Amino acid sequence: MSYAMVLTAFGEPEVLQWQEVTPPVAGPGEVLVRVKAAGVGPTDLNIRAGHLAHVFPQGPGSVLGFEAAGVVERLGDGVDGVAIGDEVAVYLPKQGGYGELVATDVWFAKPPEVSWAVAAALPASAKAALGTLREVAATAGETVVVLGAGGSVGVIAVQLARSFGLRVIAAASERDEQFVRDIGGEFVVYGDGVFDRVAALTDRVDAVVDAAGHGGLTEAVAATGDGSRVVTLADPAGAAAAGARMSDPGPGRAPDALAVTLPMLADGSLRLKTHQELPLTDAAEAHRQLASGASHDKFVLTVD
């Protein structure tokens, strides 16, 4: 048997409880990983509260967590290119990161220079950042606006876009101004009128990545003149109203995201949003702090 922070019901953070669970099994093409660290994302909070029951089939009795890092413990049939004992970062399409063990078919070797916590903070955000840049077909020489540029996804989107040769206008809070400038974005403060502030910097906006979900999509489509070049991760109603795209989180969205970004983390060319670490058994406390707005950091849950 093994243990996990189980989603015992939809509700407040205390529904996450440390319980004995049947250990996951590595199916064909999957690895079984002993978790050293697991990332907490805003989507986890919405799933826990029951707001996304129409999107994710996992309900009470399941284990949250789309991203983790740990040590490979078993190999499923047909797996090659990785060995028992290897250190990996993993994306978890079926969730399960808040557990001692998790099975997945999406992994990449963790470079030794990258800590467990940083490796665990990366996978879901990297997949979303690289995937959305591809969804809007952002190419060298173009200008992209990133809404939510100070967030976990946004900071990666800014840096990937710069590495692809784009000009990046980064909409973030004043608190994040210096950070988004340091990573190569041209700062505008987020919120009402953001596209007026973008227009003061440039009359050319080719694409918009919304990694915040707090409006602005109608203005984004007006700025690009093409709804197919505006994508959101978090505002389906706004996308429908504006004629913009809702990002497709399926397996085809940037399957190479870890292969692209982990080496960048290792060589220092990619920085992540700052994070705080808590023990896995304190997952409810991480959810409380994120929901209250008391912390703007990413949370990573760790296992000794």
Ligand X SMILES: NC(=O)c1ccc[n+]([C@@H]2O[C@H](COP(=O)([O-])OP(=O)(O)OC[C@H]3O[C@@H](n4cnc5c(N)ncnc54)[C@H](OP(=O)(O)O)[C@@H]3O)[C@@H](O)[C@H]2O)c1
Is 125 an interacting residue with respect to ligand X (CB under 6 A)?
yes
Residue whose token pair is 């070049």: 229
- Of positions 6, 7, 43, 231, contacts ligand X by CB under 6 A: 43
- Of positions 47, 205, 211, 280, contacts ligand X by CB under 6 A: 211
67 to 86, contacts with ligand X by CB under 6 A? none
Stretch near ligand X under the rule CB under 6 A, chosen from 9-17, 25-33, 35-43, 80-88: 35-43
Q: How far is the CB of 114 from ligand X (least distance, A)?
A: 19
29 contacts 76 by C-beta, under 8 angstroms: yes
Whole-angstrom Cα distance, residue 230 to residue 212?
13
Of the candidates 237, 199, 191, the one whose C-alpha atom is nearest the C-alpha of residue 216 is 191
Is 255 an interacting residue with respect to ligand X (CB under 6 A)?
no
Q: How far is the CB of 217 from ligand X (least distance, A)?
A: 11
Q: Residue 256: is it exposed, middle or buried by C-beta count within 10 angstroms (0-12/13-18/19+)?
A: exposed
Burial call 9-42: b when 16+ CB within 10 Å, e when fewer: eeeebebbeeeebebbebeeebbbbbbbbbbbbb
How many residues bind to ligand X according to rule CB under 6 A?
Answer: 27
Tell me whether residue 6 or residue 171 sits nearer to ligand X (CB atom): 171
88 to 107, contacts with ligand X by CB under 6 A? none
Is 236 an interacting residue with respect to ligand X (CB under 6 A)?
no
Whole-angstrom Cα distance, residue 116 to residue 301?
10
Contacts of 111 (CB under 8 A, 6+ apart): 262, 263, 265, 266
- Of positions 147, 209, 242, 303, contacts ligand X by CB under 6 A: 147
Is 270 an interacting residue with respect to ligand X (CB under 6 A)?
no
- Of positions 173, 228, 276, 281, contacts ligand X by CB under 6 A: 173
Tell me whether residue 31 or residue 129 sits nearer to ligand X (CB atom): 129
Whole-angstrom Cα distance, residue 299 to residue 64?
14
Is 132 an interacting residue with respect to ligand X (CB under 6 A)?
no
- Of positions 26, 69, 118, 212, contacts ligand X by CB under 6 A: 212
Whole-angstrom Cα distance, residue 59 to residue 10?
8
Is 150 an interacting residue with respect to ligand X (CB under 6 A)?
yes
Q: How far is the CB of 288 from ligand X (least distance, A)?
A: 15
Q: How far is the CB of 90 from ligand X (least distance, A)?
A: 16
Q: How far is the CB of 3 from ligand X (least distance, A)?
A: 26
Q: How far apart are the first and last CA of the chain?
A: 18
- Of positions 99, 148, 185, 227, contacts ligand X by CB under 6 A: 148
Strand residue runs (E) in the chain? 2-7, 16-21, 31-40, 67-75, 87-91, 101-104, 106-109, 143-147, 167-172, 186-189, 207-210, 230-232, 245-246, 275-279, 298-302
- Of positions 233, 258, 283, 300, contacts ligand X by CB under 6 A: 233
Q: Which residues of this chain interact with ligand X, rule CB under 6 A?
A: 41-43, 124-125, 128, 147-148, 150-154, 171, 173, 190-191, 211-214, 233-234, 247, 249, 273, 296
